[in-house]
A and B are shown apart, each in its own frame.
Chain A
Amino acid sequence: MLRRKARRAQEDDDPLDAAQERRVRAVLALGGVPQADLPDGVQQVRLRLLERAASGREAPRDVSAWAAVVASNLAMDWHRARRRQERLGERLAALRRQEHPSGEDTSVLSLAVAQGLDELPDSQRQVLVLRFYADLPVRSIADELGIPEGTVKSRLHTAVRALRVRLHQNEVV
């Protein structure tokens, strides 16, 4: 009984709810953070949120958006510090092989998009994930990353154009 109460208290104190945690994991993964390191990444986001509260600063107005931006920055730092990242296309293909060893049902489109993401520079992939996965407006991305709105737009434009060219050339879409 005591253990259950303690667990509930711990859950109540968790600054990220389950949906926010899922989102953080996905943003980290899309940023190339390897699967094995995702729990560490989520903990880092939690820690930063708790540190923010402990320092007396106001809680973020939109915790989900804030957490997505922090996670995307962590993914960028991850690459700089460790000089490695997981190839999304390879990992996605591996996941598919685990689920469907026969190769049946392989989604050509998903693999092509994942491989396209692999080819993007980190800075372009970061804004792409924040815009189209985390659903943040361009202005919010610019504010959160501390870069001009025009830079966000130009990175998005270049990234989406590159992906379109790749997908159309490969006749995936």
Chain B
Amino acid sequence: MTAEHNGADALMAAITGEPLPDEARADAALLAGHRAAEADVALLRQQLGVIGDALAGDARPRRKPAPAARNRRRVRTAAFGALAAAAVATVLSGMAWLVTQSGGGAGFGVSADKEVGAKADTSAGSPFADPGYLACARLVAEGEVTDVEQVPGAAGQERITLHVTRAHKPAKTAEEITFVLDGSAGPKSLHLYDHVLVALPRHTASPDHVVVGDVPIARERARIVRALPAARELGCE
């Protein structure tokens, strides 16, 4: 279960998030073990979020409200955590989420000017223009899809491996990242060699925004570049 190369442990690297040494990366078996471990760790991280929120009686939606056309069965399965709560509470917490996303939450500690700017950008419709959103994102990166696997036991979920070509936040990431796509973030599935931009919020292993295609990504990249400096000044929460 655990691949090793001269003391380099694939599972431990996935747990700590540290990159594998170059020498170890040349070992195909270890690299494959590392990818599998990263995928499992990503899944575990996601499930802890789902279980924690469900057991805490937390009605907060874990990602932005779904578009109306979304497949309902997939949504119900993916949003397990939110099912533990009453519908009214969901609506209220959804409103709280929207307030936070618009930069209006007191926790961000931004100036009035920045708040107005953030709201104006957000009103353009892209979360990537919102410094508040970027400040709370764990990872924002572009890359090419190198592997797509169905997640057994979790209908409609895909485990995606992405070769990172540009990391926006943090500025440096592992060359390859793995995440679980549950269809709630935009596309219901990705294909090998797709060029994608993904954003993962804190405490989750699934992106809440996925953009596919060179032109839309270029548009979002410009927004990210503009908003990132302000995002760095903000704290999340």
Contact = CB atoms under 8 A, between A and B. Distances in A.
Contacts of A22: 53, 56, 58, 60
Interface in B34-63: 37, 40-41, 43-45, 47-58, 60
A171 B152 contact: yes
Nearest to B85: A99
Given A25-B56, A29-B52, A129-B48, A19 B15 contact: no
Interface string B114-147: 0000000000000000000000001000000000
Contacts of B167: none
B56 A38 contact: yes
A85 to B, nearest CB: 12
Contact of B55 (A92, A107, A132): A92
A161 B50 CA distance: 20
Contacts of B2: 161
Chain B residues touching A, range: 35 or more
Contacts of B56: 22, 25-26, 28-29, 38
B177 interface: no
A35 B55 contact: yes
Nearest to B154: A109
A164 interface: yes
A43 interface: no
Contacts of A157: 9, 11-12, 15
Given A109-B154, A135-B138, A26 B1 contact: no
Contacts of A100: 83
Contacts of B57: 25, 35, 38
Given A133-B203, A135-B202, A173-B152, A30 B55 contact: yes
A95 B16 CA distance: 32
A73 interface: no
B153 A108 contact: yes
B27 interface: no
A68 to B, nearest CB: 10
Given A109-B154, A133-B52, A138 B203 contact: no
A99 B47 contact: no
A105 B100 CA distance: 30
A59 interface: no
Contacts of B45: 132-133
Contacts of A165: 1
A40 B46 CA distance: 27
Interface in A58-73: 63-64
A173 B153 contact: yes
Most buried by B among A20, A26, A113, A153: A26
10 contacts: A22-B56, A63-B237, A105-B76, A107-B154, A132-B41, A133-B45, A135-B203, A153-B16, A173-B152, A173-B153
Given A161-B1, A165-B1, A173-B153, 16 more contacts: A26-B58, A35-B57, A95-B54, A109-B47, A109-B151, A112-B153, A113-B47, A132-B48, A133-B49, A153-B12, A157-B15, A160-B15, A160-B41, A164-B11, A164-B40, A173-B151
Interface of B: 1-2, 9, 11-12, 15-17, 37, 40-41, 43-45, 47-58, 60, 73, 76-77, 80, 83-84, 96, 100, 106-107, 138, 151-154, 202-203, 237
Of all A-B residue pairs in the complex, the 5 with the closest CB atoms, nearest first, are A26-B52, A29-B55, A25-B56, A26-B56, A113-B47
